[in-house]
Amino acid sequence: MALPLALDLRGRAVVAVGGGPVSARRVTAFVAEGAQVTVIAPWLCEDLVDLVAEDAIRWIARDYAGSADLAGARLVHTATGDPSTDDAVAADSELLGLWCVHAADAERTPAAVLARTSVDLPDGRVTVAVHASADPRRAVAVRDAIATSLTTGSLPLQPQRPRTGSGWVALVGGGPGHEDLMTLRARQLLATADVVVVDRLAPRGLLSTLPTTVRVIDVGKAPQRHAVPQDQINAILVEEALVGHGVVRLKGGDPYVLGRGGEERLACEAHGIPVEVVPGVTSAISVPAAAGIPVTHRGLARGFTVVTGHEDLPDLPTGRDHTLVLLMGVAALRTTTTDLLAAGRDPECPVAIVERGWLPDQRVTVGTVATIADIADQVGVENPAVIVIGDVVTVSPHFPGA
């Protein structure tokens, strides 16, 4: 029988007897928890030598000399490789009333360092430890399975007690729309959020998996319809965090690629709110990829430019070997192609429009700078869509003759 306990080792003395790899693993963990560690061993493995060089531990370079070596310790760990020495350390610890981890004998040790896994969240760390009697490998196997669930955010990570003080904001890039293309960190933060402020093009399928206690605030913007202005979105993030909530701002693509994430971060930090930015797979690259279009390709394009179709195009390279990626450009497509032709872009330069990239109803429409506006009108191209202009379009299986 065993009672798992969590020990706060910060500032407390720990004695580790033995200088090999087993001792190094445990000493590294003790140091990470803030313990004051003394290692007693005639020699040290490389990892422990590094800790001595960093002044992270104290080293007594000799063999264990008896119970006096344990004076002042709150916890003892022994892993010398010599059974008689380890047994002696364990016996001395018992006489002194100290807990001792006997690393060489899982069945006899009165204390054990459990197989652990942790996830760091904006409001603290969650640690899960597994104990499997005298079968540490079983504990590790179970630990690894739990670690996978923690990493993917499939375990409930929301706090069950009211948060104290100010909350936090995470600007999370949701990728091009399919939930499988989100980062693991994005999934973790969603699992711990109190409030999710979501965009129209974010991966909304995940919202139905959140606990019913999570409030979802929809601030999605559609072409020609900004139901919630950006200043109001900033105010929502600040207000929710200041009352102590953990807030995930779930965006499509990447929050820092034409996503106004920088404005939201500055607005929050102006009120002292901690902000974490989680990058996402930007649609500027991933949506063309969904149609088999690389934005660069040896022999076809060595560079690319990403612009929004809402504003006049800046001066850009006009060669077909420089890829132009237009976001939010459907409404102004005819004006855009007219401007490109006037600037010297080849009328026969290939163009692809990828609608609803990565979703089941994805559609790809191809043409040239001279023809794409008419073709788009004929087939009824709609947002959300990404427009790719350049010779890289010919690599796509959707291009005639590819």
Residues designated as active site: 199, 221
- Alpha-carbon dihedral angle through residues 295, 299, 300, 305, given to the nearest 10 degrees: 50
Measured distance CA(387)–CA(44) in Å, rounded: 60
Kindly give, in sequence order, each residue whose CB lies less than 8 Å from that of residue 177, ignoring residues fewer than 6 positions away. 201, 202, 203, 252, 283, 356, 357, 358, 359, 384
Query: 226 to each of 34, 174, 223, 387, how far by Cα in Å?
Result: 50, 20, 8, 22
- Angle of helix 136-151 versus helix 184-192 axis, rounded to 10: 80
In the chain, what is the straight-line distance between the N-terminal and C-terminal CA atoms, in Å?
Answer: 68
Q: Name the 3-class secondary structure at 150.
A: helix
Kindly give, in sequence order, each residue whose CB lies less than 8 Å from that of residue 335, ignoring residues fewer than 6 positions away. none
What is the chain's percent helix, strand, coil content, to nearest 5?
30, 25, 45
As separate numbers, helices (DSSP H) first and strands (DSSP E) second, the chain gives 10, 19
Q: Are 333 and 379 in contact (CB under 8 A)?
A: no
Chain Cα centroid distance, residue 185: 3
Say if residue 21 is preceded by a cis peptide, omega within 30 of 0.
Answer: no
Q: Among candidates 116, 200, 122, which has minimal Cα distance to 167?
A: 122
